[in-house]
Chain A
Amino acid sequence: GAGVSQSPRYKVAKRGQDVALRCDPISGHVSLFWYQQALGQGPEFLTYFQNEAQLDKSGLPSDRFFAERPEGSVSTLKIQRTQQEDSAVYLCASSRSGQINQPQHFGDGTRLSIL
């Protein structure tokens, strides 16, 4: 597709369940980013991939959060044993290269609600 695609758009899970969020970046984009956006806040960096390599995961809030991009294209963010504080919009972005001067193109996000 022309833009970054995220699925599902909405996800409701019970506390303690595992969830998986998918990001399909723009074709050919090398870099992929995940952000967490709490209600009324700006996006906060979670992790960054260049191709299949996860170069920075310093923003992942706990070891319950795991991200992968095994073939350097589609990425999955997995949250294990979800907690209520995990409720947020999860945004994925991709950019053409790993250079900071390349704009990041964002998907519409996945809104995660933990009951």
Chain B
Amino acid sequence: AQSVTQPDIHITVSEGASLELRCNYSYGATPYLFWYVQSPGQGLQLLLKYFSGDTLVQGIKGFEAEFKRSQSSFNLRKPSVHWSDAAEYFCAVGGYTGNQFYFGTGTSLTVIP
């Protein structure tokens, strides 16, 4: 069965430091991959997506993610974190069955000054 794993439940970084959030998926073929961000009490906002082609994708708010087939990973990165980046981040995969998305359990990001 398809699944998404986000190994880090919670991450704390200092403002200005770099960030990497991990995501691993299980699927036999190349899935459609997404990263979403959710602020408290809000819905999910799409940061970026990968379908095919260049394995390094750029998203909004200075985020990027790299698809690594050999590691079944799609890690999210940002070179310099801002205090406003504090939120919950979800990795999702889709395209297996119809239009279903499967979300990971999320990584909560805290940014300290």
A103 on interface, CB distance cutoff 8 Å: yes
Name the residue of chain B whose CB is nearest to the CB of A98.
Answer: B99
A48 touches B104 (CB 8 A): no
B90 at the interface (CB under 8 A from A): yes
Is B41's CB under 8 angstroms from A108's CB? yes
The answer to whether A55 and B98 have CB atoms under 8 Å apart is yes
Tell me, in angstroms, the Cα distance from A25 to B76 when the chains sit together: 28
Interface residues on B, range: 20 to 34
Q: Are B44 and A100 in contact (CB under 8 A)?
A: no
* A77 CA to B90 CA, complexed, in Å: 24
Docked complex Cα distance between A45 and B49 (Å) = 19
With beta carbons under 8 angstroms apart, the residue of A33, A40, A105 that contacts B99 is A33
Provided the pairs A43-B90, A55-B98, A103-B49 are in contact, do residues A91 and B103 lie with their beta carbons within 8 angstroms?
no
- CA distance in complex: A93, B38 (Å): 14
- Which residues 71-113 of B have a CB within 8 angstroms of A? 90, 92, 94-95, 97-106
- Given A42-B105, A45-B102, is A108 in contact with B42 using a C-beta cutoff of 8 Å? yes
Q: Taking the complex as formed, is A4 at the interface, i.e. its CB lies under 8 A from any CB of chain B?
A: yes
Which residues of the other chain, A, contact B92 by a CB distance below 8 angstroms?
A: 42
Q: Which of A4, A48, A56, A58 contacts B43 (CB 8 A)?
A: A4
In the complex, A106 has a CB within 8 A of chain B = yes
A107 contact from B32, B43, B95, Cβ within 8 A: B43
* A44 at the binding interface (Cβ < 8 Å): yes
Chain A: CB-nearest residue to B100:
A45
A42-B104 contact in complex given A31-B99, A101-B32, C-beta closer than 8 Å: yes
The residues of B with any CB-CB pair to A shorter than 8 Å are 4, 32, 34, 36, 41-46, 49, 51, 90, 92, 94-95, 97-106
What are 16 A-B contacts defined by CB distance under 8 Å? A42-B4, A42-B90, A42-B92, A48-B98, A56-B97, A91-B44, A95-B99, A100-B32, A100-B94, A104-B44, A105-B46, A106-B44, A107-B43, A108-B41, A108-B42, A109-B43
Closest 4 CB pairs of A and B: A42-B103, A106-B43, A106-B44, A100-B95
